[in-house]
Amino acid sequence: MSITYKDAGVDIEKGDALVEKIKLKVKSTYGSRVRSGVGGFACLYEVGDRLLAAGTDGVGTKLALAKKLDKHDTIGIDLVAMCVNDILCTGAQPLFFMDYLATGKLDVDTASHVLDGIVEGCLQSECALIGGETAEMPGMYANGEYDLAGFAVGEVKPDEVLDGSRVGEGDVLIGLPSSGFHSNGYSLVRKLINDDETELMQAALAPTKIYWKAIKGLLEKQLLNGVSHVTGGGLLNIPRINEGFAYQIDSLDFKEQAPAFMLEIAARANTTDKELFRTFNMGVGLVCIVSADKVDEVLQALKDNGEQPVLMGHVKAGAGEVYLPDGSQV
């Protein structure tokens, strides 16, 4: 029997529909300094000769695994990663981070472990943790329960911003490996792990990879035409770079390079590649779009940074579609 993300209680289409519904309301608040708002990976706001890039996110029900294993020292890395990886998609350098922790009753040891992870995430991102908020809300959360939200801000020069305008037909898609499911799809992941599979749970708790150090040199040299953070919605995140083109996945070989625990859990869903690639990152957490004549230089630079980049596909004429090698749409 197959099980999908929707079966697990998460409806991606409804989430997309909400964004579309609120766009006009949100835009009614914009002033002349808003360069890019709701709908992208991160927002851009003009400040002098710079654009500030801002992003916010949480870690979803991955928190339930952290609680079950009583392991809270890496979930903070996830929190930073989900926010920082989003602002990287604008070409921005991370500047600072803020966190929000809500709980029924504050457990100092648990909160301290969470903070350890947030600090580590900020060190990996080379950004400052400049503040945060802790809220005790008895009656809203049970004792021992907590939730997290994070907020990252970066900066980018106007002539260096990645807004999709550099993308063109024939550009190449280069994928950077993920460390696992990152922080998406856990409502389904948890349904696919048995209560006694502690080792598999521990593997699934692997923190989200932060890509700043891997691509900062490429951003400085303006070698990238676009960047996509592969989160909820899987490969459907790629067209968010520029919906004026289609994106052809030429090979699914990268899936076989995904962590073994990820492939094991995904196989239990007993579903199609299309569904898997709409739900999980399936081994690629960041997709870079590069001009064909820059591919070798970019691949070498990534390898020099310890990455194992994979050639995934190319850009072609279209209107926001993502095609798998068999010609079907994701």
Q: Are strands 172-177 and 310-317 parallel, antiparallel or unpaired?
A: antiparallel
Of 19-28, 178-187, 243-252, least confident by mean pLDDT is 19-28
CA distance linking residue 86 with residue 97, whole number of Å? 13
CB contact set of 179 (below 8 Å; sequence gap of 6+): 206, 207, 208, 209, 259, 285
Domains of the chain, each with CATH number or no CATH: 31-160 (3.30.1330.10), 172-323 (3.90.650.10)
Percent of the chain with pLDDT over 70: 95
Model confidence, pTM: 0.93
Return the DSSP state at 140.
T
DSSP codes of every residue in 189-243 = HGGGS-TT-HHHHHHHTPPPPP-HHHHHHHHHTT--SEEEE--TTGGGGGGGS-T
Dihedral sign for Cα atoms in the order 176, 170, 226, 4: negative
> Which tens digits make up the pLDDT trace of 139-194?
999 988 999 999 999 999 999 999 999 999 999 999 999 999 999 999 999 999 99
Burial classification of residue 274, based on how many CB atoms lie within 10 Å of its CB (0-12 exposed, 13-18 middle, 19 or more buried): middle
pLDDT at position 11, please? 65
Q: What is the pLDDT of residue 250?
A: 97
pLDDT for 38 beyond 80: no
pLDDT in tens, 271-326: 988 899 999 999 999 999 999 999 999 999 999 999 999 999 999 999 999 999 99
pLDDT for 9: 57
Both structure tokens of 285: 């957490």
Q: Are strands 322-323 and 245-249 parallel, antiparallel or unpaired?
A: parallel
